[in-house]
Amino acid sequence: MIEFIDIIGTLVFAISGALTAIYKKLDLFGVYCIAFVTALGGGTLRDILIGNAPVGWMLDLKYIGIIFIGFLLSILFNKYLEKLRISLFLFDTIGFGVFTLIGIEKGIEYQLHPVICVVLGTLTATFGGVIRDILCNEIPVLFRKEIYATLCILGGILFFILQELNVNQDVLYLATSSFIISIRMIAFKFNWSLPTGNAFLKKG
């Protein structure tokens, strides 16, 4: 199931990146590049930081194919995909929760400290979007609007608390991913966000 959702998440992240590039009026090569880095940027950074070489997608060509499918869907059906934005957000959020778990598990596999594992989970889930926004000349959403990076951290803390309580591994995965997914959906619905820097500036 995690592998299946990983594939769906990769596809949706690729579509998200491609749609952003289309709206920015990039050429076809640019659209594919943005789709690629959005889908694989977080996992690539994670693997580089832990010295896992070659990085994961270089050993499994299915990810190249998944991204190409997302690229084609975005080019051919971008007007329809815009109407499905809520559905895409849901799949994106599911992938987001799963990618956080994948990053944490990778850190555990390398016997890293829990704090570092949480950092790896956060990078895996968010950094592709950061690269996408930077390349598209936008301030990354991570730094200006949504609270999803904070949710990764909180989800990671919950993961290790439940692990210390010897919770069944399947329940552990389900509880952590469900927490991240549900809170992000609630935050999106009610437009929750962290305070901006202006909130701390003294008014003269």
In a domain, 204, yes or no: no
Do residues 2 and 102 make contact, with C-beta atoms less than 8 angstroms apart?
Answer: yes
Sign of the four-CA dihedral 15, 101, 57, 49: positive
Count of domains observed in the chain: 1
In a domain, 107, yes or no: yes
In a domain, 202, yes or no: no
pLDDT along the chain (204 residues), means of 10: 76 87 92 95 94 90 94 86 67 81 91 95 91 88 73 93 91 90 86 68 55
In a domain, 63, yes or no: yes
Q: What angle do CA 111, 184, 43 make, to 5 degrees?
A: 40
In a domain, 198, yes or no: no
pLDDT at 62: 93
pLDDT at 93: 80
pTM of the model: 0.84
In a domain, 160, yes or no: yes
In a domain, 199, yes or no: no
How deeply is 50 buried, as exposed, middle or buried, from its count of CB atoms within 10 A (0-12, 13-18, 19+)? middle
pLDDT in tens, 133-183: 899 988 887 776 667 788 899 999 999 999 999 999 889 988 998 999 899
Instruction: Sort residue 195 into left (φ over 0), alpha (ψ -120 to 50) or beta.
Output: beta
pLDDT at 197: 61
In a domain, 69, yes or no: yes
Q: 150 is in which domain, residue-wise?
A: 2-192
